[in-house]
Amino acid sequence: MIECSHVYKRYKNGTNALYDLNFSVDQGEFVYIIGPTGSGKSTLIKLLDAEETPTKGDVRVVGLDVGNLKNRQVPIYRRNIGVVFQDYRLLPTKTVFENVAYALEVINMNKKQIRKRVNEVLEVVSLNEKGNSFPHELSGGQQQRVAIARAIANRPKVLIADEPTGNLDPSKSDEIMKLLQKINTEYGTTILMVTHDLTIVNRHRKRTVVLQRGHIIADLPEGGYVQHDQ
Amino acid sequence: MISRPISEGFRGVARHWAMSISSIIAVTTTLIIISLFLIFSYHMQLFTKSVESSMQIYAGVDYDYEDDEDRIRAEIEALDEVKTVKYYTKDEEYEFFLSQYDDEQTREVFSPYKEDNPLHDAFYVEAKDGKQIQDLSKKIGNIEGIYMTNYGGQSTVNMVSAMSKIRRFGGFLVIFLGLLAIFLIQNTIKLTIYARQDEIAIMRNVGATNSFIRAPFVMEGIITGTLGALVPIALTIYGYYYVYEKTGGVLISNMFRLVRPNPFVLYLAGILLAIGVLVGLIGSFMSVTRYLRWKR
Ligand SMILES: Nc1ncnc2c1ncn2[C@@H]1O[C@H](COP(=O)(O)OP(=O)(O)OP(=O)(O)O)[C@@H](O)[C@H]1O
Ligand SMILES: [Mg+2]
């Protein structure tokens, strides 16, 4: 599903964000990416999302060479993956319903199917009563759930989430985790989740990839990351 | 689906009401100014034309050459600047002269001259261009058998050249204002789209192609341009009818008349609407495109 081989990323200003990254994720896996701030987690996500291109190396997602997509191919590629951003990235002037519907409008689904599917995924994230609310009328946890609903609306094979629990208190974080696990087990969606939150990593044990200063310093198949001195 | 950008466009205008209003006001003010200058320069053009066409050269024929009408006419017509040539015998000249007086008494006074006519056979010549009239007059004067020529005089020539300058300046001003309008409106639209660049980025994140993102924005621009044209159109129609009725269509003198409002005002409305729509379309298209180009 996801394959990085010898991936380097050097930003235009000279910052080296990633060095020789090698890892792969199989279909149906649930993987944490953890690491201190500035270790390159978001950079990795941007590479997977085709927002940035690798300086060297291959990034492959769902069989596509993501690093070499032309600009106009990028939107088409993104329809294969769902991305949940730490800052939600909901359209402020669209309602919850319209936000989720937008991800389906871009693939030209017809209105009736869109309505059906949006109601379905809002049900999954338990927000079917908030369809007509605007994002600013929702709590952070609710907005995060809308973002997740939008990301899974067109049944992507891969879901990538950048700190989906970043701004939430522990009980809300658990809600989101349960939701993601449900998506992972019920739909077989491959999930790659970036997080800071070691409590979560230790409570819900999954394969864990540890980044530090742009290097993968550990890839723990059983999870349960034990924090060492920094 | 074609209806999507349209409904999305209307929704966009409604949901970004404050921004829409500022764009609409930019369109409205510039279109009002453009409307005024269109009216002004169109009338200036008509006025100049009417003054120019009223300018004729009078060329009197020497008594000794009265049999040379055909030759002189041919020589006049051979000149490049000539548009039309009319010929009147001195008897016709006398009748015309007399017809200008209504009262019997004056006619009586002139009656002895019918037999001993002091007037000349005459050519009346129009120039193709009012500015050539002085030159042409001189050339005709040099033809053998013409004893004198006369035209409106230097003051008329000056007026014509002044007016053609004003006219050219007016046309230039309309073009300049049009460009200024496009610039102003495009800038406003650019600002409103700049304020919404996050929105555009999010749309890309969710897998929307550039054309899918662009369509509703362009539609918004068209709607904004159309809404912005409404007030100028209404003002132009009502304002022009009002002025036309108040003045009876005559300004200053009979020579300077206002065009009848009926088709004129509709043409103006059409032009204003077209400018509004085009500027909205081009402005929004360019702004979104410029922003999208660098987006992956
Ligand atoms: N657009 C950019 N241009 C230049 N340098 C960047 C850019 N984005 C990130 N960097 C740099 O790349 C390095 C990795 O950043 P990245 O955002 O991937 O870290 P992160 O692991 O997501 O950190 P955090 O946990 O704080 O979000 C940092 O040194 C950062 O300053
Ligand atoms: Mg980050």
Q: How far apart are CA A71 and CA A87, in angstroms?
A: 24
Same domain? B35 vs B78: no
Q: What is the CATH number of the domain that holds A124?
A: 3.40.50.300
Contacts of residue A147, defined as CB under 8 A and 6 or more positions apart, other chains included, come to A84, A85, A88, A89, A90, A164
**ipTM of this predicted structure:** 0.86
Closest partner CB to B207 (pick from A52, A78, A92) = A78
pLDDT of residue B180: 76
Query: Is the minimum distance from the CB of A135 to ligand 1 under 6 angstroms?
Result: no
Contacts of residue B30, defined as CB under 8 A and 6 or more positions apart, other chains included, come to B177, B180, B181, B184, B185
- For A148, the closest chain B residue by CA position comes to B206
Q: Which domain holds residue B173?
A: 4-51+158-294
Residue at which a domain ends, from B151, B175, B199:
B151
Q: Which domain holds residue A34?
A: 2-220
pTM of full prediction above 0.80: no
Long-range contacts of A122-127 (CB under 8 A, 24+ apart): A122/A96, A122/A97, A122/A149, A124/A149, A124/A152, A124/A179, A124/A182, A124/A183, A125/A149, A125/A179, A127/A96
Is the confidence at residue B188, as pLDDT, over 70?
yes
Q: How far apart are CA B279 and CA B182, in angstroms?
A: 6
Nearest-neighbour CA in chain A from B255: distance (Å): 58
Chains A, B: CB pairs < 8 Å: 55
Please report which confidence band the pLDDT of residue B252 belongs to, taking 50, 70 and 90 as the band edges.
Answer: low
> Is residue A105 domain-resident?
yes
Residue A90 near chain B (CB below 8 Å): yes
Q: What are phi and psi of A176, to 5 degrees?
A: -60, -40
Q: How far apart are CA B19 and CA B9, in angstroms?
A: 14
Residues of chain A neighbouring B15 (CB-CB closer than 8 A): 93
Q: Give the pLDDT mean for B2-19.
A: 81
Report yes or no: B129 and B99 within 8 Å, Cβ to Cβ. Answer: no
198-227 in chain B: CB under 8 A from chain A: 198-199, 201-210, 212
Q: Which whole-number Å values give the CA distances from B8 to A1, B13, B53, B225, in the listed order?
A: 36, 9, 55, 16
Look at chain A and report how many structural domains it folds into: 1
Q: What is the CATH number of the domain that holds B115?
A: 3.30.70.3040
Same domain? B38 vs B92: no
Please report which confidence band the pLDDT of residue B255 belongs to, taking 50, 70 and 90 as the band edges.
Answer: low
CB contact under 8 A, B209 and A106: yes
The pLDDT tens digits for B224-247 are 999 999 999 999 999 999 999 888
> Is residue A98 domain-resident?
yes
Look at chain B and report how many structural domains it folds into: 2
Same domain? B82 vs B43: no
Buried b (16+ CB within 10 A) or exposed e, B38-75: bbebbbbbebbeebbeebbbbbbbeeebeebeeebeeb
Residue A134 near chain B (CB below 8 Å): no
Nearest-neighbour CA in chain B from A230: distance (Å): 35
Same domain? B217 vs B256: yes
Query: Is the minimum distance from the CB of A47 to ligand 1 under 6 angstroms?
Result: no
In the reported structure, the alpha carbon of residue A227 is separated from the centroid of ligand 1 by a whole-number distance in angstroms of: 21
Strands B57-61 and A190-195: unpaired
pLDDT of residue B238: 94
The pLDDT tens digits for B85-107 are 889 988 888 888 887 777 777 77
The pLDDT tens digits for A104-146 are 999 989 999 999 999 999 998 899 999 999 999 999 889 999 9
Q: Between these two residues, A222 and B266, which has the higher pLDDT value? A: B266
